Chains A and B, each alone.
Chain A
């Protein structure tokens, strides 16, 4: 059974810092991994989708890496801004299905 864990659960940093969010999963037989952002009381915004054949994806100040063999993914945020404050979720499909299993999330707060 796929389980997804995110560390840290919460993070507070001053503006301008580079930071790394971690996601680990127990079943490495995945075909993709996706990172989402969720603002309080809102739905999900897809940030990056990494296919199983890829090692990383970049979008602006965001870079996500994937190491299937070790069951890990990281989301790197460069030059953090107060507008980056949100909860970041990673999700992987449950084995052999399209059902997404979500991580516990990292609540990020970037201080001005």
Chain B
């Protein structure tokens, strides 16, 4: 149980285009999801907290207009990287907190974004 999926697993796009990444909790409801970014050989950095039915909360230094987050249901959160540039190339990982469950997060497999 407690499986989180991400789609796509890998995406390559041209500079200036927008890319949407989906994060789904497959067998549980998640009122809160988190989006992390990991640059090569670095640790994970939290980007934003996604709450179902309300606006996402962004960490300091993360542009909310560039990284659009939508948490439309208890099992789906999407991250859209708008007008992507090469410096946005990174590994994006989501996690989900099981509503009413233990105090832990379940992580997705990640999405590798490469912007040419």
Q: Does B104 contact A (CB under 8 A)?
A: yes
Contacts A100-B34, A103-B43; is A49 near B109 (CB within 8 Å)?
A: no
Q: List 5 A-B contacts (CB under 8 A).
A: A31-B103, A49-B102, A98-B97, A100-B34, A100-B105
Residues of chain A in range 80-100 having any CB-CB distance to chain B below 8 Å: 89, 91, 93, 98-100
Q: Does B44 contact A (CB under 8 A)?
A: yes
Interface of B is mostly: strand
A104 CA to B91 CA, complexed, in Å:
16
By the criterion CB–CB under 8 Å, are A42 and B110 in contact? yes
By the criterion CB–CB under 8 Å, are A100 and B43 in contact? no
The contact size tier of chain A is 20 to 34
A98: min CB distance to chain B, Å:
5
A45: min CB distance to chain B, Å:
8
Chain B residue at minimal CB-CB distance from A45: B107
A98 CA to B105 CA, complexed, in Å:
8
A82 CA to B109 CA, complexed, in Å:
22
